[in-house]
Structure 1
Amino acid sequence: MTITDTASPTTNNSGPENRWANQARPSTAAGWIRRAAEVSTILAADAVERDNANQPPFAEVQLLKNSGLVTLLGPAGHGGGGETWDTAYRVIREVARGDGSIGQLLGYHYLWAWAARLVATEDQISAVEELYTTNNLLFGGAVNPRDSDLIIVEEGDELVFTGHKSFSTGGRVSDLTVLEGILEGTDTHIFAIVPTEQPAIVFGNDWNNLGQRLTESGSVDIRGVRVDWASAAGFVGKVFQPLVYNTLNVPTIQLVFANFYLGIAQGAIATATEYTREKTRSWPYGGDNKPSAGEEWYLLEGYGELASKLWADEALIDKAGAEISAVLHAPRETLTERRRGEIAVLIAAAKLRIAEDGLEATTKVFELTGARASSNTVGLDIFWRNLRTHTLHDPLPYKKREVGQYVLLNEIPEPSWYT
C-alpha cells in the first residue's frame, strides 16, 4: 500500500485508506509501537518516490493522524493515548525506519505538543492539550535559535510577533505553530501557540535540501501575529514563573534526533540486507569462491559490525529515553539542575554515537550490497542523505566536549538553545 496522492490538506478525516477505522486504539506501549511499525511499512513502500517528488507531506501527516500517533502523548480523557515519552521515542524511531522525514515531523510534533507542559501554567496546559488532542492537530515550530529572535510588541492586552526564521519544521502541513520571541526593550523571552493557517504567517516554501526533504523545514515570515497576553506560556500577571523543568526542551528534542537517526540507520540496514539476500552476487575472483552472497565472509563481517554498533546505540538511547521520560512525567517542581545536567550529558553521548555510527552504516551498506545497488531505482541513498542532512543540526564536537567535561571535571552543561 502506498500513500501518494491520497490525502487532502484541508480535512482531518480524508486521506490514505484508514486501515484502523474499525480497530480500537492500542492500550499498551507495545501496541502503540506495533501501530507505528504498520505506519512505517506503509511509508517505506513509496518513500523514494515521494522524496523525489518533494511535495508537502499532507498525505503522510494524515496517515499519522488516522493511526492515532499524533495524539499518543495526549490525555486519555480527551481521547489521547496517555502514553509516556519512553514510548513516544520508540514510536518516532519506528516511523523513521520507513521514512526519516516523517519520523522527524512526528518527533518535533511531540516536542511542541509538550511545550505547554514545559513552560506554561496549569490552566494553559489543560487548554492546549484538550485543543490538540480533541481535534487531532499537528504542531510545527518556528523557533530557530540561530536566527534573530522574533520581536514582540505589547499592544494593550495583546502581543504582536514579527520577524523572519530561516527554518520552521512542520510548515504548511502543521495545524498549530509554536512561536518564540523577545519582548521589545527587555530580555524577556515568550512562547506562544498559534493557528498556522493565518495571513500573518507566510511560509517561503523553499526547503529543497539534500535530505529530510519532506519535513517542511523552510523559511517563514511572521508578519504581525497577534496573541492575547493571557496566552503567553508560563506568564502570570505578565511575569514568567521559572522552573528548572522549563529547560528540558533541548534535551528532549536532542533525544528525538537520536531516535530518528537510529530509525534511519535501522531502515538502511533492513533495506540493504534484503537486497543482499535477494540480489547481491558473490565475488568470483577471490580464490575462495562462494555460491551465494550470504556465504561471503566480508559481507557477514560487515553486517555483523554495523548491527553490533546499532544494537549498542539502541541500548544507550533507550537508557536515555527511560531517564528523561521519568523526569518529564514527574512533578515539575522536583527537577534539580544537577539531574537535568546528568540527563543532558547522557543524551549528548547517545546522540553523538548514533550520528557517527549511523553515518558509517548508511555509507557502508553500499559496499555490502554491490555496485548495482547504487541505482536510483534502489534508493539506498535516501538513508545517507537524510542522516547526513540532519546530523549537521549542531556540531558533534560540542557534544563530545559536554561528555568530556562531565567525565573529567564533573561539570554539567549549562542550559542553552543547543544543550
Structure 2
Amino acid sequence: MTPTQATARQTPADPAPGNPGWLPAPPERPAHVIRDDAEAIAVAGRLKPLFAAEAKERDRERRLPFAEVDLFSESGLWGITIPKEYGGAGVSQVTLAKVFATLAAGDPSLTQIAQNSFEIIDVIRQTGSEAQKHELFGAVLAGKRLGNAFSEFGGKNVEAFETKLVRKGDHFVVSGRKFYATGALFAHLVPIVALDEAGHVVVAVADRGAAGLEVVNDWSAFGQRTTASGTVILDEVAIPEARVLPAHIVYENQSAVGPQSQLIHAAIDAGIARGAIEATIDLVRNHARPWIDSGSDTASDDPYTIAAIGDLKIRLHAAEALLERAGRQLDETIADVTEETIGRAKIAVAEAKVLTTEVALAASNKLFELAGTRSTLGTHNLDRFWRDARTHTLHDPVRWKFHAVGQYYLNGVQPPLHSWI
C-alpha cells in the first residue's frame, strides 16, 4: 500500500468550529506483532521508501501524516522494545537505533512521532505493576499508540513542572498545559508527566478522548513541521488509579531512561544526515552541472565534489559507528544497572549525539553547495533537510554534551541525574 492509497483510506475529521487546531482521537487499527530484531530492521527498510514518497509535499503543506502513522503503528514497530515475557520482541537498543535512523532517512518528522512512546514503554517496564504492564503493553501490541504530554513551555527549565495530579475520591484528576507534545495528536493513550500531592513526578496515562483533554495543532516551527508537537490542555482530566505510574523511581534517581531517549534522538539526526547525503548524490549524478573550471563533463567528475562526498560519507559512518557503540553500551547497562554503568551509557550516547548533530547539519547544508543554485528551487523543497536538522538538534544542546564528556574523562565526574543526557 502506498501512502497515497493509505490517505484515501482514512481522512481525519474536520477541526471543530472556532478551534482550527483541534482534532478528535484517531480510530484504532490492529497491529502486526514483530518477533525479533531482524524482522524489525526488515520492516523499517520496507517502510522507509513509503515514508519518503510524499515527504516533501507533506512538509511544504504541513499536511499531517495520519495515514502514514497508521502504517507505522500497524507495522508493529511501535511495540518492538516491549519485553518478550509480555509478548513483544524485546529488541536491542542497537536495533532500535537502526530502525529510527532508517525511517528518519525517509521522513524524520513522521519518524519522530513515535519517539516518546519508547520512553514511556521503558518507564512502564521499570515502574509499572504487573497489572499495568499487562494492560499497557497489551494495548500497544494490539495497535494503540502512546503519545506524549511531558514538557511545558514556561518554567525555569525543562524539569520545572506545573501540571498537578490530585486525588478526587476513588480516582485522580490532572490539570495543566503542555507543549512540545509530539505524538499526542495521533495517540490513543496520552501519558502525562505531572507532580503528585507529595511533589513527586508521576506519569498519568489518559485516554485520548477523555473529557477535559484537548490537543491543539499549533506547532509552528520551521522544521519537523508535521510532528504536530503543539499544545495539550488538561482540565481536570480523570485518571484511574491503575493508570498512574510512579515515574519518580526513574526520573528522580539514576536510570537508563534518559540515555535511551537520547539515543533515539541521535538516531533521527543520523537519519536526517543519511537522507540529505542520498539526496545530494542523486542531484549531483542526475541534475547538477560541473563547474566551468573543473574541466569535467559531469558534476560527478568534479574532483572537489568527489572529495566533499567522501568527507560526508566518512563523517556519517563515524556517527553511525558511535551510535551503534552507544546502543551496545545501553544494552549492557540495562542488563546490569549501576551508577557506573548508567554513567557509561550517558557518555556513550552523548558522544554519538555530538557527531550525529554535526553531520546532520553539515550534510543538509553541503547539499546546496554541491548541487548548485537549482537545488534551492521551491519545487525540490530540499531545504527541509536543513530545517529538520536545525530544529531537531535543538532538543538538547550539544555544547553541554562536550562539557559532560570532558568532565567524565578529565575529572571523573558522573553525568547529571536528569534525563536530557
The answer, yes or no, to whether TM exceeds 0.5 is yes
Between the aligned partners of 1:171 and 1:25, the Cα distance in structure 2 is 22
> 1:176, CA displacement in angstroms?
1.1
1:218 aligns with 2:230: yes
Could you say which residue in structure 2 is the equivalent of 1:356? 358
> 1:197, CA displacement in angstroms?
1.8
Change in 2 beyond 3 A, CA 1:243/1:122:
farther
SS in 1 for 2:233: strand
Structure 1 segments (4+ residues) deviating >3 Å: 1-4, 9-14, 24-28, 74-82, 240-246
Contact 1:118 1:247 (C-alpha < 8 Å) held by counterparts: no
Given candidates 374, 395, 405, the residue that maps to 2:407 is 405
Letter in 2 for 1:247: S
Between the aligned partners of 1:388 and 1:270, the Cα distance in structure 2 is 18
Given candidates 118, 126, 136, the residue that maps to 2:143 is 136
Q: Give 5+ residue unaligned stretches, structure 1.
A: 15-20
Between the aligned partners of 2:173 and 2:114, the Cα distance in structure 1 is 28
Contact 2:82 2:137 (C-alpha < 8 Å) held by counterparts: yes
Contact 1:149 1:180 (C-alpha < 8 Å) held by counterparts: no
* Residue deviations 1:283-328 (CA, integer Å, cap 9, x gap): 12x1x40111111001001100011001001000100011113333
Contact 2:145 2:189 (C-alpha < 8 Å) held by counterparts: yes
Contact 2:206 2:243 (C-alpha < 8 Å) held by counterparts: no
Between the aligned partners of 1:94 and 1:384, the Cα distance in structure 2 is 18
How high is the TM-score relative to the length of structure 2? 0.88
SS in 2 for 1:291: coil
1:233 aligns with 2:259: no
Could you say which residue in structure 2 is the equivalent of 1:291? 297
SS in 1 for 2:418: coil
Within a 5 Å distance, the mapping from 1:19-418 to structure 2 comes to 27-75=35-83, 80-133=88-141, 135-144=142-151, 146=158, 148-184=161-197, 186-234=198-246, 247-284=255-292, 286=293, 288-328=294-334, 330=335, 334-418=336-420
Q: Give 5+ residue unaligned stretches, structure 2.
A: 13-25, 153-157
Contact 1:277 1:293 (C-alpha < 8 Å) held by counterparts: yes
Query: Greater shift after overlay, 202-211 or 256-265?
Result: 202-211
> 1:114, CA displacement in angstroms?
2.5
Between the aligned partners of 2:298 and 2:99, the Cα distance in structure 1 is 36
- Between Structure 1 and Structure 2, how many residues are aligned? 399
Contact 2:273 2:360 (C-alpha < 8 Å) held by counterparts: yes
**Two-structure CA RMSD over aligned residues (Å):** 2.3
Letter in 2 for 1:162: S
Letter in 2 for 1:11: P
SS in 2 for 1:143: coil
* Residue deviations 1:391-414 (CA, integer Å, cap 9, x gap): 111222111110010011011112
Change in 2 beyond 3 A, CA 1:271/1:241:
closer
SS in 1 for 2:161: coil
How high is the TM-score relative to the length of structure 1? 0.89
Query: Greater shift after overlay, 112-121 or 162-171?
Result: 112-121
Between the aligned partners of 2:304 and 2:391, the Cα distance in structure 1 is 29
SS in 2 for 1:142: coil
Letter in 1 for 2:102: E
Between the aligned partners of 1:167 and 1:103, the Cα distance in structure 2 is 15
> 1:115, CA displacement in angstroms?
2.2
Percentage of identical aligned residues = 30
